[in-house]
Amino acid sequence: MSPTRVLISGAGIAGPTLAHWLIRHGGFEVTLVESAPRLRTGGYVVDFWGAGYDIAERMGILPEIQAKGYRVQEIRMVNRGGKRVGHLPIDAIRRTLHGRFLSVPRAELAASIFGTITGGLETLFGDSVTSLQQYPDRVGVRFEHAPPREFDLVIGADGLHSRIRALAFGDDGFETYLGLQFAAFELRGYRPRDEDVYVLYNQVGGQTGRFTLRGDRTLFLFVLTAGSPQVPEDEAGEKDLLRRRFADAGWECPRILGEVDRADSFYFDRVSQIRMEEWSRGRVALVGDAAFAPSFLAGQGSALAMLGAYVLAGELGALRDDPSQAFLRYHQRLGSFMASKQRAAVSFSDNFAPRSKLSVFLKNHLSSALGLPLVADMVFGPLMRDRIPLPSY
């Protein structure tokens, strides 16, 4: 039986994870196409736990990402004047998850995953798919730069704004906007530095956070409510929007935004979910945020992307001569689970942009109670424990 030729679009979290497991199962020739000229850097720090943590352990990269990660000690809430008004000790979450929890820069996680692929992978950086033509036994693909080619399967792992999803499924309203927008960026040399502490300032309709990184860098995250999903057309407009919304917010916001023009890796987007009744069409399938983006409100998007890629690769490996059945089983295993994660994220949205002064007060002043073992287990246990068996393929 000749190898199955698979094109994966996207070199974030899901794409390299899928490539790793397909090559590991054997019988696949994998090509990875990525629009960026190289692996992306920057982005925000993600909390990493659950099934994705287990998969990282099976891939052998857990020690590496633990070394790259941060052991956050607390989330510290401050008021307009910078006074501490509440805190959440992160050890409460670690206890609930039996210590299997860490915080790691998303780009560093992606690099660790990519580094596990030792051979059998063709990469096309700085390129993207422009059209798909499906046939009963193959898919014709045109690229922006590379010559046209044919593959047995095409997998879209290209994120919330997936090109592969648009080409294969059309624009049928799969994106559900959650009423929030956010910006993430880094500054070098910013002071003060609170090591291993995520400092959080809550306002009605917004939130600002900062976290110190290695190399004298500080990561900032701004979240704001927005009635329209439309975001500014360019980076200058995005920064202007932040300045307008947070100019009088208090705390360190004016100083942070006064330095935003020298920011590294500035990123701005709307907060949305992707909700689909099926994740495949013919010989094209989707994985990660392209298929089931829970939004960053879930706090687990990277781990869920790894779970989806692991299961998809396993089903394709088990049913290599029947990909349509493999795609069906992939969705049957994970569809309900991913929908539950999306519902949990929506219920948590007020935590990122409080809707009233009362919500701000409760978030700031009741957070300390979550450090109590019994309370932490009652609150975080149902939200954070992945009650799904991880198949062994």
What pLDDT, in 10s, does the model give residues 169-187?
998 789 999 999 999 999 9
Three-state secondary structure call for residue 347: helix
Copy the structure tokens of residue 168. Answer: 């294969």
What pLDDT, in 10s, does the model give residues 89-142?
888 778 777 778 889 999 999 999 999 998 889 999 999 999 999 999 999 999
- 352: pLDDT confidence band, cut at 50, 70 and 90? confident
359 or 277, greater pLDDT: 277
Average pLDDT (61-87) is 92
Query: What is the domain-level CATH number for residue 116?
Result: 3.50.50.60
Domain assignment present for residue 31? The answer is yes
Give the start-end residues of each E strand in 73-213. 74-78, 84-89, 101-105, 121-125, 129-135, 138-143, 149-151, 153-156, 175-188, 197-203, 206-213
Domain assignment present for residue 364? The answer is no
pLDDT at 382: 56
* Mean pLDDT, rounded, of the chain: 90
pLDDT at 236: 95
Phi, psi of 153 (to 5 degrees): -140, 150
Domain membership of residue 44 as a residue range: 4-72+99-175+273-349
Count CB neighbours of 136 within 10 A.
6
pLDDT at 370: 63
Average pLDDT (248-256) is 94
Domain assignment present for residue 141? The answer is yes
Count CB neighbours of 215 within 10 A.
6
Q: Residue 184 contacts by C-beta under 8 Å, 6 or more apart in sequence?
A: 42, 43, 44, 219, 220, 221, 222, 266, 267
What pLDDT, in 10s, does the model give residues 39-64?
988 778 888 888 889 999 999 999 99
What pLDDT, in 10s, does the model give residues 291-338?
999 987 777 889 999 999 999 999 999 999 999 999 999 999 999 999
Average pLDDT (20-38) is 96
Domain assignment present for residue 334? The answer is yes
Three-state secondary structure call for residue 282: coil
Pick from 183, 376, 345: nearest CA to 274: 345
Percent pLDDT > 90 in the chain is 69
- 376: pLDDT confidence band, cut at 50, 70 and 90? low
Phi, psi of 168 (to 5 degrees): -90, -30
pLDDT at 116: 95
Give me the sheet containing 264-274, strands edge to edge. Answer: 84-89, 74-78, 197-203, 206-213, 217-225, 175-188, 264-274
pLDDT at 90: 82
Q: How many domains does the chain have?
A: 1
Among the ranges given (44-58, 193-207, 285-299, 357-371), the one the predictor scored with the smallest mean pLDDT: 357-371
pLDDT over 80 at 351, yes or no:
no
Domain assignment present for residue 46? The answer is yes
Average pLDDT (366-371) is 64
- 369: pLDDT confidence band, cut at 50, 70 and 90? low
Beta-bridge mates of residue 266: none
Domain assignment present for residue 85? The answer is no
pLDDT at 154: 98
Average pLDDT (354-375) is 73
Does pTM top 0.95 for this prediction? Answer: no
31 or 52, greater pLDDT: 31
Copy the structure tokens of residue 245. Answer: 């919304």
Domain assignment present for residue 194? The answer is no
Interatomic CA distance for residues 293 and 299, integer angstroms: 11
- 353: pLDDT confidence band, cut at 50, 70 and 90? confident
Domain assignment present for residue 116? The answer is yes
pLDDT over 90 at 374, yes or no:
no
pLDDT at 118: 80
pLDDT at 167: 97
Return the residue matching tokens 């059945």. Answer: 325
Amino acid 379 reads V
